[in-house]
Amino acid sequence: MSEDGASRLSRPVGDDDHQHGPADAPVTLVEYGDYECPYCGAAHPIVQAIQKEMGDRLRFVFRNFPLTQIHPHAAGAAEAAEAAGDQNAFWPYHDHLFEHQYALSPRDLAGYAGEFNLDAARFERALESHEFEERVRADFMSGVRSGVNGTPTFFINGVRHDDSYDYEVLLAALNEAKS
């Protein structure tokens, strides 16, 4: 918590984060999300529209926050996104998961790898061995330390956005943060 009572990111954005947009953008939007969460699914096209609207004035960062108690496929989907990222396909795979969030079984996740020309054997080995489980856990724990208790949770320039993520509200908050 900051002096003004707002929650702040406990872990600053770093090179190991999945980032879309320039590192020197005046505004950074961090989302803690869950691929199986219907609210995250609803927020996904809003974030994409805002990215398009703001262009190079916005850096978007996604961190995994799988709510495994209520979303049994969320952790596997997060690990799959990380495995895709290991083959330079994080963002297209990420988008695809949100666009198909009701089909996140292990078989579905493996099938999606083929759609992005990933090395299927390498991808499946990563999932079977839980190669990226610790990476997902690290994102999750950074969210817990930052006060995240549900998804999606957004931070604008390191400060938690506690208002709606409707397009107009979120865009206004981002524009206010850059000024």
Rounded Cα distance between 76 and 160, Å, is 26
CATH (one of 3.40.30.10, 3.40.50.300, 3.10.580.10, 3.40.50.720) for 18-178: 3.40.30.10
* pLDDT tens digits, 129-166: 999 999 999 999 999 999 999 999 999 999 999 999 99
pLDDT confidence tier of residue 2, bands split at 50, 70 and 90: very low
Whether the predicted pLDDT of 90 surpasses 80: yes
* pLDDT tens digits, 94-128: 999 999 999 999 999 999 999 999 999 999 999 99
Rounded Cα distance between 179 and 35, Å, is 32
Burial class (CB in 10 A: 0-12, 13-18, 19+), 171: middle
Long-range CB contacts (within 8 A, 24+) of 50-57: 50/167, 50/170, 50/171, 50/174, 51/20, 51/21, 53/171, 54/27, 54/171, 54/174, 56/21, 56/22, 56/25, 57/25, 57/26, 57/27, 57/178
